[in-house]
Structure formats: C-alpha cells, structure tokens
C-alpha cells in the first residue's frame, strides 16, 4: 500500500511510513516462554521486524529495561536503505526496530512474548494491520546463538499452543547490517501523538502493553 502524506517537523512534507487504517488490529495473550533466555550481564541488542516501525518502536520504548529503540531497515543493502525505495517495494528490507536492553530487567524471551502479544500478528505473511508488502513482514532477527535458540524454541511453542487459529508464518532471518531510518521516523509516536495512524494503530498497542504486562510497562518513553 502506498504511504499517506503526513506533515512532519519543520513544516516539511514527506511520505509517512504507514498506510491509512483500514483493517482491524488484535492482541493475544501469548504464552510465557518455556525456554528462558540465559544472557550475561551488560546491555544487549535485539532486532524485531513487525510491520510499521512506528508502532514497534513505540511499544518497546515503553518496556522496562529497554534503553533505546531505533527505527530502521534490515535485510537489504545500503543502496536501498531509504524510505522511498523500501516503501515502494524496491528492496529486500523490512521495516525493523533495533532495541538495546538490559537482560537483568527484561529478558529476550520476555521481549518475544511482548512482541507477539501486542505488536505483531504471527499468522500474517508480508503484512501487518493495514500495511501490505514484504517490507512490512514480521521477522525475528537474532544476533547471538542464545537469541536464536530462544527464538526457535518460542516459535515452536507458539505453533503448538493453540492460541492462534491460523498457522504461524513469522520466521527467523539472519542478522545483516541495520540501517537507521530517516530522522523524521525516529520517536514518531512521541512527536506525533495526534497523528491519525498513531491514534488508530499504535496508541492501542501501548495501552495493551500497559494493561496486559504492567510489571514490564514504563510510563517513561525511551527515545532512540
């Protein structure tokens, strides 16, 4: 779907990351992971592709233990790591968010549970919510052997859980270079709380995080 045009900071007009709302969203009580992540102390990095990066970033920016969340592109090359080409479908990139987190406060397996509870529908292929195209695919991108083992086990657990009525199609992608998105995409929900897309699609995700996982919710927005 083509991006709508949104009025951005400094009075500039640019393509918005996400399409107009025209479909229903949903949240699920994803099961707690049976395979608990065992991570050493110190900050860790994780990547999640889950549709429009505005919402992925907004949710993770309200998770306790997440120190930063940055919107960007993953899966393609440097030449196509820009919104014009990604949104037009001329790249292999997916809109992706890089998060830095403290495993003492929130583990990788907990991040997976949050991701599939309030951010991404794992039964949708090459789309999320109202946004359609391979660049809106949901994918897990582990950057360590431990993350890969936990992600693999959790996807298998999800498939056997019966929580989702349709087949789980979210996959694991090999980690490649991450390219931060244009500045106007960063902290978009924080900067544009009254934007129609944010109010319809992303604010409810943050509200669901607070309602479903209050122990992991932080009122403070962690900027990228």
Domain-located, residue 68: yes
Residues pairing with 48 in the sheet: 97, 140
Residues comprising the chain, all counted: 224
Q: How confident is the model at residue 13 (pLDDT cuts 50, 70, 90)?
A: very low
Confidence of residue 2 (pLDDT cuts 50, 70, 90): very low
Residue 132 belongs to a domain: yes
Which CATH number fits the domain that encloses residue 45? 3.30.1060.10
pLDDT of residue 7: 31
Q: What is the mean pLDDT of residues 27-47?
A: 95
Residue tagged active-site, from 49, 52, 99, 181: 52
Does residue 20 sit within a domain? Answer: no
The answer to whether 60 and 97 are in contact (CB under 8 A) is yes
Model's pTM, two decimal places? Answer: 0.89
Instruction: Print the domain residue range for 193.
Output: 40-214
- What distance in Å separates the CA atoms of residue 144 and residue 150, rounded to the nearest whole number? 10
Residue 54 pLDDT exceeds 70? yes
Q: State pLDDT tens for residues 135-145.
A: 999 999 999 99
Gap between the Cα atoms of 182 and 150, Å rounded = 31
Q: Is residue 13 part of a domain?
A: no
Q: Contact, 191 vs 185, CB < 8 A?
A: no
Answer yes or no: is 95 within a domain: yes
**Is position 18 annotated as part of the catalytic site?**
no
Return phi, psi of residue 7, to 5°: -80, 120
Per the CB < 8 A criterion, the answer to whether 145 and 124 are in contact is no
Asked whether residue 14 is assigned to any structural domain, the reply reads no
32 in a domain, yes or no? no
Calpha distance 150→156 (Å, rounded)? 10
User: Tokens 């229903």 label which residue?
Assistant: 24
Under a CB-based contact definition with an 8 Å cutoff, are residues 1 and 133 in contact? yes
Q: How does pLDDT run across 71-122, given as a tens digit for each residue? A: 999 999 999 999 999 999 999 999 999 999 999 999 999 999 999 999 999 9
Find the DSSP H helices in 88-216. 108-114, 145-161, 188-191, 196-197, 203-212
Residue 25 falls inside a structural domain? no
User: How many domains does the structure of the chain reveal?
Assistant: 1
- Mean pLDDT of the 25-44 span: 91
Q: Is the pLDDT of residue 10 over 60?
A: no
């Amino acid at each position: 779907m083509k991006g709508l045009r949104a009025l951005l900071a400094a009075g500039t007009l640019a393509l918005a990351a996400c399409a107009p709302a025209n479909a229903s969203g949903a949240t699920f009580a994803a099961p707690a992971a049976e395979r608990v992540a065992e991570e050493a102390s110190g900050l860790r990095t994780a990547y999640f592709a889950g549709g429009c990066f505005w919402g992925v970033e907004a949710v993770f920016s309200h998770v306790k233990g997440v120190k930063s969340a940055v919107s960007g592109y993953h899966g393609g090359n440097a030449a196509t790591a820009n919104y014009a080409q990604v949104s037009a479908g001329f790249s292999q990139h997916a809109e992706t968010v890089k998060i830095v987190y403290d495993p003492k406060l929130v583990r990788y397996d907990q991040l997976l549970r949050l991701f599939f509870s309030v951010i991404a529908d794992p039964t949708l292929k090459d789309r999320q919510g109202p946004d359609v195209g391979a660049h809106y695919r949901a994918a897990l991108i582990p950057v360590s052997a431990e993350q890969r083992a936990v992600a693999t086990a959790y996807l298998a657990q999800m498939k056997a859980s019966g929580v989702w009525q349709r087949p789980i199609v979210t996959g694991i992608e090999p980690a490649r270079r991450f390219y931060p998105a244009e500045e106007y995409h960063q902290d978009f929900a924080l900067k544009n709380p009254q934007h129609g897309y944010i109010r319809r699609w992303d604010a409810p995700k943050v509200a669901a995080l607070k309602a479903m996982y209050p122990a992991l919710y932080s009122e403070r927005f962690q900027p990228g």
